A and B are shown apart, each in its own frame.
Chain A
Amino acid sequence: MIARLIKRGRTGPYPHPAARLAYPMGSRVGVRAGAAPKQGPRRLFALIAALPILLGASEPRLVPDVSNTQVDIAYSFTGADLLLFGAILYPGGRAPSPDTDVAVVIKGPAEPLLVREKAKVAGIWINRTSERFRSVPSFYAVATSRPLDQLVSPRTAAIYEIGIGNLLLSPANGASANEQARFESGLIDLKRRNGLYAEHVGTVSVREGVLYRALVPIPARVPVGQYTAETYLIRNGHIIAVATRPIRIGKSGFERFVAQAAETYPLLYGLAAILISLLMGLAAALGFGRVRR
C-alpha cells in the first residue's frame, strides 16, 4: 500500500502551478512567502517570531518530503497512511544535535461553519442555539516526537497553532466567552469523534538528529481539497525551522469526472441520472422477462 502511494506521489503532478511556484526546489525553507498574505495577523506574528531563522544562516534547515502529494479517494477508499519524512541539514558541517524535536501538522482547507446545540424541549431533542465560526480547518492532525507541553511553550504553540486546543476558529457571533468556549469544545469533540481532528503524540521518530519520519493516518471520510503538511523543527522549546508541503486530496478517475460534471452541468447531469436509472430499470425488466420465458 505504502509503496504504491509513494510511487504515485513521486510521479504525480503538482496540484496547481501556483503551488509549484510557492515551493521552488532550492528555496530556503522557513521563507514561507506563499502562506503569509492570506493567513491574517496571527501569521504575521509567526513570521516575526521566525525572523531569527530568516536572518541567521547558522541555523539548521529542513528538507521535507511526503510519501504522496496526491491522495485519491475512490469508492474503495478506506483511508491511507501518509508518510512524512525528511532530513535536517546543519550548515557548515556542524555536528547534528541529538535534542532535536519535530512536529508535523496536516491541515485541510478551512471553511466557515454553523455549529448547532441540541437541547431537550418537550421531551424531544431539538436544535436550540447556534454559533458561527469563520475559519474551521476541515481536517487537522498533529504528530509530535514528544508530548506537546514538553515541546514548546503554550505561547509558541498558540502562535503556530500546534495542537487541537490551539486552533483559531474565529467565532463570529457576539456570544459570551463562556458560550463561545462551550461551542468550540463541542465542535472540536465532534471533529475528533469523526477522526477529522487528531493528535498523535510520540509518532515522529528523529534518528540521530538528522532524519525524521512520521506516519499520519488519513481516515476514509476526509473532505477533499488542498491540504498542507507543515513540519516544525524544535530545539529547547523554540521553533528553529519550518517547512511546508502541499497535499491534494481529491476524488479520482470516474468518481472525479462524475463529481465535476455534477458541478458544471447540473441540468444535464440530472437528466443523465434519470435516463441512466430508467435504462437500467428497463434493461433489468427486459432481461428478467426473457429469463422467465
Chain B
Amino acid sequence: MNALVIVLLGGAVGILSGMFGVGGGFLTTPLLIFYGVPPAVAVASSATQITGTSVSGVLAHSRRQGVDFRMGMVLVAGGGIGSFAGGFLFRLLQKTGQIDTIINLLYVALLGWIGLAMARESVRAVLAAREGRKPPPITTKRHRKWIAALPFRWRFYGAGLYISPLAPLLLGFVTGLLTVLMGVGGGFILVPAMLYLFGVSARVVVGTSLFQGLFVTATTTLVHAVTTHAVDLVLAGLLLIGSVIGAQIGSSMVQRVRPERARMMLAVIVMAVAIRMAIGLTWQPDAIYTVQAL
C-alpha cells in the first residue's frame, strides 16, 4: 500500500469536504475499497478521518459565524440515537448477507434524488444569472406544512428559523443511521435537507452540517473500535494528513467560486456516483461468489 496515494486520496476528498460541507465519506469509502482495503476497515477508518476533517471545517466556518450551534446540538442528539440503531441494523443485515445490496440501493436512491434536486436548482440559478435576472430564491417553500405542524417550536437564530426541534432531531437520526451503514459523514443528506426541506439560511448550512458530522463520526469510530475492531489508525491518519489540508483549500475556494456553480459541480459528482452504483447493480458482477469469515 502506497502511503502517498492514501494522502493524495484524502487531499482530493478534503477539497470537496471544505467546499460543500460533505464529509467526503461517500467517495473515500468506495475509493479505499477499490484500492484493496477491506470494506469494514474502509467504512470505520473513513469515519475516523471525517472526524478530523470536520474539526478544521467547523473552526473555519464558526470563525465566520457559519455554525448554528443550537441546531447542531439537536442534530447531534438525533445522530447519536441513529448511530446505535444503525449498528443494530448493520449486524442484522450482515447475518443475512444482504448488507452490500442494501448499501448499494441506499446509495442509488439517495444520491440520485439529491443529485437531481441540486442539478435542477443550480441549472435554474445559472440560467437566470445568464439572462440577467435575479436568481430565484434557493428555498422555494419556506414553510412546509408537515414541519410547521410539529409542536414545541424553537427559535434557531443562526439558521433564521422558528420550527420544532423534532424535525432536525429526525434528520439527525437518519444521518446517524447512514453514518454507520454507509461510512459517510451525512453531509450530503444534511446540506440539501436543511436547505430544501427546512429552509435553513445558506450561510450556516455547511458549518452546521460539519458540526453534526464531527460528533456523529466520533461516536461511530468508538462503536466500530469496540465491536468490529476495524478502525485502522495508520490509514485514518494518512487520509487525515491529506484531507485536513484539502479542507482548508476547499473552504477558502468556496468564497471565490460562485455558489450556484459549486452546487452544480457537487450535483454532477453526486449523480455520477449514483449512476455508477445503479449500473453496478444490474450488470453481472465480476464475482458471483463472495466469502465471509465465520
Contacts and interface: CB of A to CB of B under 8 A. Distances in A.
Interface string A251-280: 000110010001100110111111011101
B137 interface: no
Interface stretch (A26-34, A91-99, A118-126, A235-243): A118-126
Max chain B C-beta neighbours (<10 A), residue from A277, A282, A292:
A277
Contacts of B105: 124
Interface stretch (A10-18, A108-116, A158-166, A204-212): A108-116
Contact of A255 (B234, B285, B287, B293): B234
Given A127-B97, A284-B248, A288-B248, A277 B52 contact: yes
B241 A280 contact: yes
Nearest to A263: B229
A147 interface: no
B294 A113 contact: yes
A281 B52 CA distance: 5
Interface in B228-248: 229, 231-234, 236-237, 240-241, 244-245, 247-248
A270 B224 contact: yes
A74 to B, nearest CB: 9
A281 B287 contact: no
A120 B282 CA distance: 8
Interface in A93-150: 111-118, 120, 123-127, 130, 132, 136
Contact of B291 (A126, A187, A276): A187
Contacts of B60: 285
A253 B48 CA distance: 22
A284 B252 CA distance: 14
B231 A75 contact: no
What is the interface of chain A mostly: helix, strand, loop, or mixed? helix
Interface residues of B, number: 52
Contact of A274 (B218, B237, B245, B291): B218
Contacts of B226: 266-267, 270
B101 interface: yes
A269 B51 contact: no
A283 to B, nearest CB: 8
Interface residues of A, number: 52
Given A270-B224, A274-B51, A282-B55, A254 B234 contact: yes
Contacts of B92: none
A186 interface: yes
B285 to A, nearest CB: 5
A193 interface: yes
A254 B225 CA distance: 18
A270 B225 contact: yes
Contacts of A75: 1, 3, 234
Contacts of B252: 292
B98 interface: yes
A278 B52 contact: yes
B52 A280 contact: yes
A266 to B, nearest CB: 5
Contacts of A276: 52, 233, 236-237
A232 interface: no
B51 A118 contact: no
B284 interface: yes
A189 interface: yes
A36 interface: no
B49 A274 contact: no
B289 A278 contact: no
Given A130-B97, A282-B59, A112 B51 contact: no
B281 interface: yes
A115 B287 CA distance: 12
B291 A190 contact: yes
B22 to A, nearest CB: 16
Interface in B137-187: none
Contact of A285 (B49, B55, B224, B288): B55
26 contacts: A113-B294, A116-B291, A117-B288, A123-B282, A125-B283, A125-B285, A190-B287, A221-B36, A255-B234, A262-B225, A263-B229, A267-B225, A269-B233, A272-B233, A273-B48, A273-B221, A273-B236, A276-B236, A276-B237, A277-B221, A278-B218, A280-B52, A283-B244, A284-B247, A284-B248, A285-B56
Given A111-B293, A255-B234, 15 more contacts: A114-B97, A114-B293, A115-B289, A116-B290, A118-B288, A126-B101, A190-B291, A262-B232, A267-B226, A269-B225, A274-B221, A278-B51, A282-B59, A288-B56, A288-B245
